[in-house]
Amino acid sequence: MNFQEGLRAARSRIAVILGLITSISIIVALEHTTIPERAAAPSSVGLLPSSNAPTIAIERTHLLPLPQPSPLTTEEQTYARIAWKYFENNYHEETGLVNSVDGYPASTMWDTGSYLMAVLSAYKLGIITEEIFRKRITSALRALARLPLFDNELPNKSYDTRTATMADYNNVPTERGIGWSAIDIGRLFVPLNIITWQYSSFTPEVRKVLERLRFEHIVRDGVLFGAQVDDSNRTIYLQEGRLGYEEYASKSYGLMGADVSVALRSDDYLKIVRIEGIDVPTDSRSPDRYKAFNYVVSEPYILDGIEFGFDNISREFAYRVYAAQERRASRSGILTAVSEDNIDTVPYFVYNTVYTAGKAWNCLTDKGEDASRFKSLSTKAVFGWHALYRTPYTQRLLNAIQHLYDPDKGWYSGLYEYTGKPNKAITCNTNAIILEALAYKQFGTHLQLLR
């Protein structure tokens, strides 16, 4: 390594240290029991809240001790092999990509990141050989290095997995693309970081993926921005991310050397809502005002814990989100582990939430339409919470969904509350998170560098 390369490497590590300093300042605020609740209008660039916001009191909950890694049982090994079936069935060898949903030839960057996490997890668990592992990682990285980019800057929101060409969300080809998602790209950066740190022989291939990307519009003034095309065919950039997903995605940008100091903050738009007797962290930015929903779901907190390892804030917030779900089950008798999920009927995707749009246990479509009849127990949330906490309640959850799979296709997405019938949607993300959770159970945090 020459001097310039060393300087560049040092710069990225400095960015991580600065991010940690920012996190420490937030932890101090939590420890002193008052957290600013800010919901002021955003500034023109940084979306920074006002400094004269009111404060609310918050008492720290008991933190569940996190179990130590332990070998998988024979039953859990079977669970992992079932999950890998999805990636055998939905892999396109000619492009190196994997479908987001069973049999449907499209994928987002979120699902591509999930696929890479599935490959890494399956290899660690001994589900696939080194030959298959290397082939899958190589083909995926080479695909990412060749994908056409939206505005020649960043990956499009969706691609046809058969042709590796840009598409809209209906998988209709589009030459220009439809924009990018900052959160989805942040998800992709998680396995790219793991591959670089833990499997360095792939570093040249990762470099080829990254060196063609341009980041001046996706991260500005410490904030994440998505891109979309307006009615006049112009590219517009909108702040992206709400509490949970925003901080989760920002951590991987920080590891890449980006300034995400504002996006990493957990206190700037924090609003505490009492749900089932638990003070649950929510995002104060209302959908009416900010044109995006503030879903409180399990997934970002689960992924933060099993991939990065909790910091003091995310550990506290994750526990509260989990505890509210356990309390609901205790009160109502309805087993509860909620997240966004594909479903096996129209509208095909819903957000099962702890809280959103001013309502606890709200279930909505991405357009904000009521989808209460599709409330369900989420398979990926069950595996995630059980891997993290392994409580009697998470064991009850696991017992309830342990047969929700097709042995030749993979795991179903969940169990509908009202009918008790399986939600038979089979997806990349559900099966990937199951593999991730099982690998975490055996080996611990995926991206922990110091042990």
pLDDT digits (tens, 9 = 90+) for 120-140: 999 999 999 999 999 999 999
Amino acid making up residue 251: K
| Residue 449 within any structural domain of the chain | no
Least confident range from 281-285, 286-290, 337-341: namely 286-290
CB atoms within 10 A of CB 46: 14
Q: What is the pLDDT of residue 11?
A: 41
> How many Å apart are CA 306 and CA 432, to the nearest integer?
12
For residues 8-13, average pLDDT:
42
Q: What is the pLDDT of residue 65?
A: 81
Q: Which of 256, 253, 276 is nearest to 264 (CA)?
A: 253
For residues 322-339, average pLDDT:
97
Joined together, the tokens standing for residue 348 give 């095909």
Sign of CA dihedral 66, 67, 69, 74: negative
> Does residue 36 have a pLDDT over 90?
no
> Does residue 442 have a pLDDT over 70?
yes
Amino acid making up residue 229: V
Strand partners, 97: 92
Q: What is the pLDDT of residue 290?
A: 60
Q: What is the pLDDT of residue 412?
A: 98
- Phi, psi (degrees; rounded to nearest 5) at 358: 80, 10
> How many Å apart are CA 159 and CA 173, to the nearest integer?
8
Proportion of the chain in helix, strand, coil states, percent, rounded to 5: 45, 20, 40
CB atoms within 10 A of CB 382: 28
Q: What is the pLDDT of residue 27?
A: 36
For residues 420-435, average pLDDT:
98
Joined together, the tokens standing for residue 262 give 């504002």
> How many Å apart are CA 139 and CA 104, to the nearest integer?
20
User: Are 132 and 196 contacting, i.e. CB atoms less than 8 angstroms apart?
Assistant: no
Confidence class for position 29, pLDDT limits 50, 70, 90: very low
Q: Is 79 helix (H, G, I), strand (E, B) or coil?
A: helix
More confident residue, 191 or 291: 191
> Does residue 18 have a pLDDT over 90?
no
For residues 201-205, average pLDDT:
97
Please give the helix or strand (H or E) that residue 363 lies within, else none.
Answer: strand 363-364
Looking at the chain, the whole-number percentage of residues with pLDDT higher than 70 is 84
Joined together, the tokens standing for residue 264 give 């990493």
Joined together, the tokens standing for residue 153 give 């800057």
For residues 63-71, average pLDDT:
87
Mean pLDDT of the chain: 87
Q: What is the pLDDT of residue 61?
A: 62
> How many Å apart are CA 122 and CA 128, to the nearest integer?
6
Confidence class for position 438, pLDDT limits 50, 70, 90: very high
> Does residue 5 have a pLDDT over 60?
no
Sequence-separated contacts (24+) of 28-34 with Cβ below 8 Å: 29/267, 30/58, 30/60, 30/312, 30/313, 30/316, 31/60, 33/57, 33/58, 33/59, 33/60, 34/58
> How many Å apart are CA 49 and CA 422, to the nearest integer?
43
For residues 302-324, average pLDDT:
94
User: Are 352 and 341 contacting, i.e. CB atoms less than 8 angstroms apart?
Assistant: yes
In terms of residue numbers, what domain contains 17? 3-443
Strand partners, 272: 281
Looking at the chain, the whole-number percentage of residues with pLDDT higher than 90 is 79
For residues 357-386, average pLDDT:
95
Q: Are strands 55-57 and 91-92 parallel, antiparallel or unpaired?
A: unpaired
Confidence class for position 291, pLDDT limits 50, 70, 90: low
| Residue that is written with structure tokens 């670089």 in the block | 196
> How many Å apart are CA 7 and CA 10, to the nearest integer?
5
> Does residue 359 have a pLDDT over 80?
yes
Cis? peptide before 191, omega within 30° of 0: no
| Residue 450 within any structural domain of the chain | no
> How many Å apart are CA 80 and CA 98, to the nearest integer?
18
Which alpha helices (DSSP H) does 259-378 contain, by range? 287-290, 299-303, 312-332
For residues 424-434, average pLDDT:
98
DSSP state of 357: T
| Residue 448 within any structural domain of the chain | no
| Residue 341 within any structural domain of the chain | yes
> Does residue 54 have a pLDDT over 90?
no
> How many Å apart are CA 269 and CA 286, to the nearest integer?
10
- Phi, psi (degrees; rounded to nearest 5) at 304: -60, -45
pTM for this prediction: 0.88
Rounded to 5 degrees, what angle do the CA atoms 36, 353, 410 make? 135
Least confident range from 16-25, 358-367, 418-427: namely 16-25
CATH number at residue 337: 1.50.10.140
| Residue 76 within any structural domain of the chain | yes
> Does residue 30 have a pLDDT over 60?
no
More confident residue, 64 or 60: 64
DSSP state of 48: P
Q: Which of 341, 332, 326 is nearest to 433 (CA)?
A: 341
What is the maximal distance between C-alpha atoms in the chain?
Answer: 64
Rg, Å, the chain Cα set:
21
Q: Where are the beta strands (DSSP E) in 367-426?
A: 376-378, 405-406, 410-411, 414-416, 422-423
Confidence class for position 7, pLDDT limits 50, 70, 90: very low
Per the structure, the count of domains in the chain is 1
Q: What is the pLDDT of residue 330?
A: 96
pLDDT in tens, 217-259: 999 999 999 999 999 999 999 999 999 999 999 999 999 999 9
* 170 burial type by CB count under 10 A (0-12 exposed, 13-18 middle, 19+ buried): exposed
pLDDT in tens, 132-171: 999 999 999 999 999 999 999 999 999 999 999 999 999 9
Confidence class for position 268, pLDDT limits 50, 70, 90: confident
